[in-house]
Amino acid sequence: MKLALGTAQFGLDYGIANQQGQIPSVEVKNILAKAKSGGLDTLDTAISYGNSEACLGEVGVSDWKVISKLPAIPDECGDIFEWVSDSVNDSLQRLNVNNLYGLLLHRPQQLLELNGEELFNALEKVKKSGLIQKIGVSIYDPSELDELCSRFPIDIVQAPFNIIDRRMIDSGWMVHLNEKKIELHIRSVFLQGLLLMDSESRPRNFDRWSSLWDKYDAWLEQSNLTSLQACLRYVLSFPEIDKIVIGVDSQNHLEEILKASKGAIPPLSDSFGVDDMQLLNPACW
């Protein structure tokens, strides 16, 4: 099963299309049970996702592969290994698990800065201790990988990719990571829910891309697909992708996603791909 469960909504009011707010722990338990029965085995969380880790630890996730993320090293950090080690141990305590499947850097550019080698050495020490199985990076743009992958033996790359964001293909990095046997985990499949909205629901500040939306909506109608089916089946069609991180706000939402993911997708025009970061990067919204 390529789908992995994102947990930002478990600890934060997350996503432009989120109408529910932070998910109660009772519903989190229901979602995890449904996900497990649906074949999912991987959870994606982060120290910066509010109380997501604590929520997962309370519900119980010892039978899951858990991936978490380190925030940027604080400026006042005196001992990088101690900070990394303490951060990981704190995460394990909150999650109530013995180890993490993966630990990703939320700001991997720090590896290319003055103390970058020291940071990676600290990660490798923690990996050798058995507290984490794999070291990874969470990137915003494939160009970040040019230097990162040439200097550091990374195990996992998490990157944005969806119907309109083709940068991982166009850059060649999707194929290159597969050749290097580096796991590729995809996020932003729905672009925080924007790609699932119809023309009436889409916020007006996205009207400047109206020609793209018109083309997208027309293709969906012609293909007889819902936006959910299209977004999921598109990313699932790439054998180079190992995991696809999806966020849900209810058990029913997850069930809908599992159903929508099954099936074929007709050919998709390359003209859907855009490179405007004002649209592709939610931080610009």
Residue 265 sits in a domain whose CATH number is 3.20.20.100
Pull the structure tokens for residue 153: 């033996």
pLDDT computed for residue 269 by the predictor: 82
pLDDT computed for residue 118 by the predictor: 96
Contact in structure between 45 and 66 (CB atoms under 8 Å): yes
Q: Quick one: which H or E segment has residue 43?
A: strand 42-44
Pull the structure tokens for residue 166: 């083709």
Pull the structure tokens for residue 141: 């743009």
Torsion region of 6: left, alpha or beta (phi above 0 gives left; psi -120 to 50 gives alpha): beta
pLDDT computed for residue 75 by the predictor: 83
pLDDT computed for residue 12 by the predictor: 76
At 13, is the pLDDT very low, low, confident or very high (cuts 50, 70, 90)? low
Give ∠ CA 154-157-161 in degrees, rounded to 5: 160
pLDDT of 17 strictly over 60: no
255 burial (CB, 10 Å; 0-12 / 13-18 / 19+) is: middle
pLDDT computed for residue 268 by the predictor: 86
Distance (Å, rounded) from C-alpha 53 to C-alpha 95? Answer: 5
Distance (Å, rounded) from C-alpha 144 to C-alpha 219? Answer: 32
Distance (Å, rounded) from C-alpha 256 to C-alpha 8? Answer: 19
Cα 78 from chain centroid?
30
Find the mean pLDDT for residues 7-12. 86
Give me the residues paired with residue 3 across strands: 244
Domain range for 257 is: 3-284
| 11 vs 83, residue with greater confidence | 83
Give the number of domains in the chain.
1
The SS3 of residue 244 is strand
pLDDT computed for residue 77 by the predictor: 87
> For tokens 């932003």, what's the residue?
188
Share of the chain above pLDDT 70, in %: 97
